[in-house]
């Protein structure tokens, strides 16, 4: 049977392009660290996690990853890989785990308070200290977003934390929520009527939370197409009054270096407010790094354009984070004594 020459050429070209694409994916996802699975027992069950280490050499310390909001797994779906690599380049191992109820971890992260989260982190640190061969001479806490209410609690409770890396962390839960609402309304170019409605609804929901009213009261008020589930509402109801100010003051007594990493286009958290509070509390122990980035410290283009974001995530995930983020992180870790 004859095969059209044009079709043969197209098939051949497609095969070559596919091979090139696979090669790019492999190279783009070939990170400079080794990764092993771990299982961490806690008072509330077991946590599935990963331990990454510099390849072929001993590490000089370990970074403990403290997640932000949502059902986050140990690698954030692979998005933590640049952070793991930056730590490995600086001579640090990294320990991260699935939140309770995520993957093979037992429990339910939506049932946790910020105190519960801090206790969990502390248990993980204790577990790490008990593991022979795990490099715990230097222990650094890395935390993103919601971890801002967790990190200072852990530091204040322990004497073996040597440094903190805070990524897009907030100070007050309610003020952060209002900032996010206003920023999203601005970003979406909401009309005056839309803004008035959104702010009024937000105030009503805040009143329901402060009165400790029930989930049904929330459902009667919200106009969201996808309202919070009952479990999510309960999570918010037991955490909405979180404020990091006092815990930060207690943590400052540890006299350890703190790196605050801020995205200039963060629509989730008022990073200027966070920076002012951190500067007042930590003084000369604080280093602040600013980036042309969104809340996650990703490049704005990969956050705003779904196609570009997906393409970069598949082919070259190192490029997801804004320029200078990983270098600043690794530089800070190298200076931890």
Mean pLDDT of 79-106: 97
Place of tokens 């996010």: 180
| Stated pTM of the model | 0.89
Q: What angle do CA 185, 213, 227 make, to 5 degrees?
A: 40
CA atoms of 88 and 86, how far apart (whole Å): 5
Q: Does residue 334 carry a pLDDT above 50? A: yes
Q: Does residue 24 carry a pLDDT above 80? A: no
Mean pLDDT of 128-156: 97
Handedness of CA 271, 272, 274, 278 (dihedral sign): positive
Mean pLDDT of 203-214: 96
CA atoms of 311 and 289, how far apart (whole Å): 27
pLDDT band with cut points at 50, 70 and 90 for residue 313 = low
CA atoms of 115 and 151, how far apart (whole Å): 10
User: What percentage of residues in the chain have a pLDDT greater than 70?
Assistant: 89
Around 98, how many Cα atoms within 13 Å sit in the side-chain half-sphere? Answer: 20
Chain length of the chain: 337
pLDDT band with cut points at 50, 70 and 90 for residue 309 = low
Q: What angle do CA 96, 97, 99 make, to 5 degrees?
A: 135
In this structure, what are the phi and psi dihedrals at residue 169, rounded to the nearest 5 degrees?
A: -85, 145
CB within 8 Å of 117: residues ≥ 6 apart: 66, 147, 149, 150
Say what the pLDDT of residue 311 is: 72
Say what the pLDDT of residue 10 is: 45
Least confident span in 102-106, 261-265, 318-322: 318-322
CA atoms of 300 and 141, how far apart (whole Å): 26
Q: Does residue 239 carry a pLDDT above 60? A: yes
Say what the pLDDT of residue 203 is: 97
CB within 8 Å of 282: residues ≥ 6 apart: 248, 252, 258
CA atoms of 65 and 145, how far apart (whole Å): 12
Place of tokens 């993957």: 103
Question: What average pLDDT does the chain have?
Answer: 91
Distances (CA, A) of 284 to 154, 257, 278, 322: 21, 8, 10, 26
Tokens of 265: 């286009």
Tokens of 89: 């380049």
Mean pLDDT of 12-34: 51
Higher pLDDT pick, 30 / 70: 70
In this structure, what are the phi and psi dihedrals at residue 143, rounded to the nearest 5 degrees?
A: -140, 145
- As beta bridge partners, residue 40 has 47
Mean pLDDT of 30-51: 96
Q: 294, 303 in Cβ contact below 8 A?
A: yes
Place of tokens 């629509």: 267
Neighbours of 2 (CB within 10 A): 4
CA atoms of 93 and 59, how far apart (whole Å): 6
Higher pLDDT pick, 309 / 297: 297
Higher pLDDT pick, 29 / 136: 136
Say what the pLDDT of residue 26 is: 41
pLDDT band with cut points at 50, 70 and 90 for residue 147 = very high
Q: 117, 157 in Cβ contact below 8 A?
A: no
């Amino acid at each position: 049977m004859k095969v059209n020459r044009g079709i043969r050429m197209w098939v051949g070209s497609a095969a070559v392009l596919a091979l090139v694409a696979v090669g790019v994916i492999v190279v783009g996802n070939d990170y400079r660290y080794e990764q092993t699975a771990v299982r961490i027992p806690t008072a509330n069950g077991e946590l599935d996690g990963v331990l990454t280490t510099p390849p072929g050499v001993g590490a000089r310390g370990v970074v403990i990853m403290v997640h932000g909001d949502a059902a986050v797994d140990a690698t954030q779906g692979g998005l933590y890989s640049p952070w793991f690599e930056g730590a490995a380049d600086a001579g640090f191992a990294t320990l991260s785990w699935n939140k309770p109820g995520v993957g093979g971890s037992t429990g339910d992260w939506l049932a946790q308070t910020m105190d519960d989260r801090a206790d969990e982190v502390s248990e993980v640190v204790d577990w790490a200290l008990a593991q022979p061969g795990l490099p715990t001479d230097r222990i650094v806490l890395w935390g993103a977003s919601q971890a801002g209410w967790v990190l200072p609690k852990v530091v204040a409770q322990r004497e073996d934390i040597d440094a903190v890396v805070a990524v897009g962390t907030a100070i007050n839960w309610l003020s952060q929520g209002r900032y996010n609402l206003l920023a999203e309304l601005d970003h979406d170019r909401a009309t005056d009527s839309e803004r008035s409605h959104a702010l009024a609804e937000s105030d009503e929901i805040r009143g329901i939370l402060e009165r400790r009213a029930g989930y049904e009261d929330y459902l009667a008020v919200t106009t969201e197409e996808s309202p919070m589930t009952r479990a999510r509402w309960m999570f918010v109801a037991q955490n909405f009054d979180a404020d990091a100010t006092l815990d930060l003051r207690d943590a400052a007594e540890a006299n350890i270096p703190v790196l605050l990493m801020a995205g200039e286009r963060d629509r989730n958290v008022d990073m200027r407010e966070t920076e002012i509070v951190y500067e007042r509390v930590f003084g000369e122990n604080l280093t602040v790094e600013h980036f042309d980035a969104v809340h996650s410290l990703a490049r704005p283009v990969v956050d705003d354009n779904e196609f570009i974001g997906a393409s970069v995530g598949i082919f070259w995930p190192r490029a997801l984070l804004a320029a200078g983020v990983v270098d600043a992180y690794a530089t800070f870790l190298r200076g931890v004594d």
